Structure 1
Amino acid sequence: MATGNKTTERRHKLRIELINAGEAILSEQGLSALTARAAASAVGCSVGAIYNVFEDIDGLIIAVNSRTLAKLDQKISRFVPGDASGLEPEDCLSGLAVAYCQFAIEHTNAWSALFEHGERISRSIPDWHMDEHVHLIGHIVKSLRQLQPGISDEDGRQLAGLLFSAVHGVVSLGLQGFFFAVPQRELETQVSLLVRATLAGLKKSA
């Protein structure tokens, strides 16, 4: 029993070390640099040892991305209704968009990996990780419900997805420098204006 516990502890320790190393590699060099060999070298273990704690390199990347989502959640949570005392729903949604923009600028490589990895992964993403994404979209839905209490679950999800896609698109183009370079403050203003204009249109059509 004692030997089994020690083995479990060693695996847990290695898992945390690999996630820490993977997080550093991804943040500094980008997703393409996060390979099994690079992670193993960073912690001083063999490449094969990685597969004692992760199914494959995608498992390590998912674990790193999970940390990124937790950090993003922490960044935007102050604009979630109930946590953002005194803010109107429009201010909550605008605040969510601006905080998302700021996070993408502050952690560009980690933020990009959330979407790049989904495009290249060769197996299905675990349900628990998908739930983490859904949880973040739920912040938008929560604000929309305060704005339009009668909105259906399906319409709420659809509208939340639309708002996220629009804001994400503006942020992505701004960071990639397509068409024109946008200073950070201007990019934040753009996503706020986009959200507020969308909500104003919804009010008129209601």
Structure 2
Amino acid sequence: MALGAAREIAAAEGLRGLTVRRVAEKMGYAPGTLYNLFDSLDALILALNGETLARLGRDLVAAGESEPSGRATALVDAYFDFVERQPLLWSVIFEHRMPGEGALPGWYSDGLSMLIDGTVAALAPLLGAWPEERRRAAVVAMWAALHGLSMLAVSGKLGLVSDETPRSLGHLLVTRVIGGEGCDLGRSSVLSSNAKASQ
């Protein structure tokens, strides 16, 4: 009930709407009841964000089962479909900060790693020549860039720099990154091209 109430509030108002009192009122309980379930509001928000990431993970797994030739496009579309369905709920993941120097719990970090690992595995057929550590770095970089596009779109600021949709820019970005043939091979190709041009 607490997660359901928090999810409804976050989907409608984002992080600013999430307070102990608001969540408890939506549940139909006194605010103190929430502390019998979670140590703090931050713990509730972490649980909500973990649930959101798990839902995204399921969508990405489904997209990752598509034909390899269209898999990158399917993954980008799945990501933006998810964000566009509930942009304010998605924004809570990146707007929430643990108080002080509070570290994220292990289960949360593990969930993020599983999400990245699943995407790396899905894109492996398209990154065959890339070393494993480079594949993961590429996926993290693409995720960070897609997140930036989505957050600019959610905040209404993407239009200040581009008339393109975040989805089309995301496709451009991912296609460009995956178009490389691996770290060393890509660098060799560039050096070879430069050498030929100078002759």
TM-score band by shorter chain is 0.7 to 0.9
SS of corresponding position for 2:157: coil
After superposition, the C-alpha distances for 1:61-120 in whole angstroms (9 at most, x for unaligned) are 11211221122122222222xx22x332xx212221221112111110111011111xx2
Q: Is the 8 A contact 2:10 2:18 kept in 1?
A: yes
Tell me what 1:121 maps to. Answer: 98
TM-score calculated relative to the size of structure 1 = 0.78
Tell me what 1:163 maps to. Answer: 142
Which of 95, 101, 111 is residue 132 of structure 1 equivalent to? 111
The 5-angstrom pairing of residues 13-52 of structure 1 reads 17-52=1-36
Tell me what 2:68 maps to. Answer: 87
Q: Is the 8 A contact 1:93 1:140 kept in 2?
A: no
Aligned pair 1:199/2:178, yes or no?
yes
Q: How many residues align?
A: 182
TM-score calculated relative to the size of structure 2 = 0.81
Q: CA deviation at 1:150?
A: 5.0
Distance change >3 Å, CA 179–CA 46, structure 1 → 2: closer
Tell me what 2:91 maps to. Answer: 112
Q: CA deviation at 1:46?
A: 2.0
Identity %: 28
Structure 1 counterpart of 2:180, one-letter code? G
Structure 1 counterpart of 2:177, one-letter code? T
> Whole-Å Cα distance in 1 between the matches of residues 82 and 134 of structure 2?
27
The runs of 5 or more residues in structure 2 that have no matched partner are 190-199
Distance change >3 Å, CA 121–CA 93, structure 1 → 2: same
- Give the root-mean-square deviation of aligned CA atoms: 2.2
Distance change >3 Å, CA 75–CA 34, structure 1 → 2: same
Structure 2 counterpart of 1:87, one-letter code? P
> Whole-Å Cα distance in 2 between the matches of residues 23 and 103 of structure 1?
14
SS of corresponding position for 2:180: helix
